[in-house]
Structure 1
Amino acid sequence: MPFYERVIGVPSGESLFCASLVLAVMVVPYIATGTYGAFQSIPEEYREAGNALGVAKGYLIIKILAPLAYQNMISSITLAFARAAGETMAVLMLAGNTLTVPVSWFAKGEPLSALIALEIGTAEVGSHQYQALFAAGLVLLLFVSSINFTIYYLNERRSV
């Protein structure tokens, strides 16, 4: 955040942009590992056949290997997205923890997962606040589920 404060020139580095940047860095290992595993799961015969035919390495990767690893790559991206959507503590510390509607990407805010984590301990069971927190959890669940169903639908449509 100190680097962010110096570059952007805001008094506090806590913002939705900073939280998004850190989340992006956090999910890169999930995507990279999943993509690496997807390419390693392809039988060696495909690579050997492409090399025997004299196919360029870029063409071999893009036109032969990537379509074979597509579903596994999409699965790793989905896993990384679900990890980012459920991340609470990093977002809680970096987003500014302000319960207001953000006016810009560089303003402070509070994502749903952080809101639930902060306030569930103080909410009285059965109160309006308690029910609102469960409603926020339902919204988060529906959002992540809709992303998963969309990706599943796109995978099924592509494989047909």
Structure 2
Amino acid sequence: MSAAQPRIRDITPADKAALRRLHARLSDESRYRRFHSAKTELTRGDLKYLTEIDGHDHVALVAEDPARPGELLGVVRAVRSGAGSREAEIAIVVRDDLQMHGLGAVLVDALRRRVDCEGVGALVAEVQGDNHRALRFFQGQGARQRQGGSGGGVWSLELPVRLP
């Protein structure tokens, strides 16, 4: 990544190849943590779902290296739990070599601003109980564990869109 700040923008259908390249660069563990399964490659159907979005009920932002247009550094998305719901599930992935350097927080902040404009009031993160880095990350962003949770060793964390 260059010294310049990454460009944060909405994902587009033209990002399919770049998203495939980002996914291929991720470690097995990062892919597993993102998809909660061993997902070695993205199918055409996956790429369509992940890039051809409506920008209202499904919002996704990418961090792009300004020195290398088309190189994705990370992706964050929010998918509403139902039409008109004020709650959306958040998912995030950052390239392994850039993890723990603040890009995730930049992406989450940008997503919060973006989904606030779409009427979303809370983001829900489903995090594997042994994923301590992600649990700390979301808690550091202000997320709190929800009552009941998802079960099966998965924590359900609620992250308010608007900061107090």
Normalised by the size of structure 2, how large is the TM-score? Answer: 0.24
The structure that is helix-richer by fraction is 1
The structure that is strand-richer by fraction is 2
Normalised by the size of structure 1, how large is the TM-score? Answer: 0.25
**Structure (1 or 2) with the larger CA radius of gyration:** 1
